[in-house]
Amino acid sequence: MDEGNRAAAPPSPQPEGRRTQHARLAEELRAAIVDGTYPVGSRLPTESVLCEAHGLSRGTVRVALRTLEDQGFITRRPGAGTTVISRLPVADYLPFVTNRDELVNLYRDTGVAAPTTRLIRLDAELAERTGLPQRSEWTLVEGVRRRRRDPSGPPLCWTEQYVRPEQPPYDPELAATHTATMPRHRIEQTVRAVAMPARFAEALETKAGEPALVIRRRHLDTDGRAFSSSLHTHPGERFVLSNMLVPED
């Protein structure tokens, strides 16, 4: 084979190539919105411009834009183009729940794909973080939580789920069903501001030491003892908690 043929040979596939074209385009446009390249109120390039710039079909571009619209970043209207309306995803993700139905919905709409599982004995620091007894053993299931309808979208948080080793293997995909069928019990939630731990930063697409908020959710039996605990570490800018106080009559 001569030099010209070798130069024309296609490059070796990269890991990124396994992702769909519309997912890559949506991620690129989302990053440009978040970093201010396309500020709120501005318009994204037209479908035709995006097709030409990225070498994609109009259908692929439309799927990418629909993804951003579903996430609440943009709005699309005939004749008005595509307008950026937010640098944050739509606030349909409620990380701090107020009842079990909301918790079921949270687990139904979000999930941890390909979690890692290991047996762990809690030292003093982990006992403090989890609210579980020091030196006790638990099965830890952890990984990145994302929206199920947009698995290639921005990571929501890093979830650590601590369950008793004697319990059946914990499957995050069945969390909604498991929570919905559990007997009535108390659920305690706390929120703490922390610096983003280094081991979560890369997976959450942020930097170590950046502001983060951790929700701890403990499930308590009738005697007040925790039989499960979970920690959900969120990049501060992706955590939205709102409430409305209605005046009494």
- All CATH 3.40.1410.10 domain ranges of the chain, comma separated, are 100-238
Residue 236: the pLDDT is: 87
Residue 9: the pLDDT is: 37
End-to-end CA distance of the chain: 86
Per the model's pLDDT, the better-predicted residue between 113 and 93 turns out to be 113
Across the chain, mean pLDDT equals 84
Distances (CA, A) of 128 to 30, 34, 63, 133: 37, 35, 45, 8
Query: pTM of the full predicted structure?
Result: 0.64
Residue 41: the pLDDT is: 84
Joined together, the tokens standing for residue 20 give 């769909």
User: Going along the chain, which residue ranges are E strands?
Assistant: 74-77, 81-84, 110-112, 116-121, 137-147, 157-163, 186-195, 211-220, 226-235
Of the candidate ranges 15-24, 56-65, 130-139, 231-240, the one whose mean pLDDT is the lowest: 15-24
Residue 11: the pLDDT is: 35
pLDDT of 246 higher than 70: no
Residue 89: the pLDDT is: 66
The rounded percent of the chain whose pLDDT value lies above 90 is 50
- pLDDT tens across 63-103, in order? 999 888 877 788 888 877 898 877 766 556 778 888 887 88
- All CATH 1.10.10.10 domain ranges of the chain, comma separated, are 3-84
Which homologous superfamily does the CATH classification assign to the domain defined by 100-238?
Chorismate lyase-like (3.40.1410.10)
- Alpha-carbon span 154 to 175, nearest angstrom: 21
* CATH topology (fold) of 3-84: Arc Repressor Mutant, subunit A (1.10.10)
- Alpha-carbon span 76 to 83, nearest angstrom: 6
- pLDDT tens across 182-228, in order? 888 999 999 999 999 999 999 998 999 999 999 999 999 999 999 99
Mean pLDDT of 6-19: 40
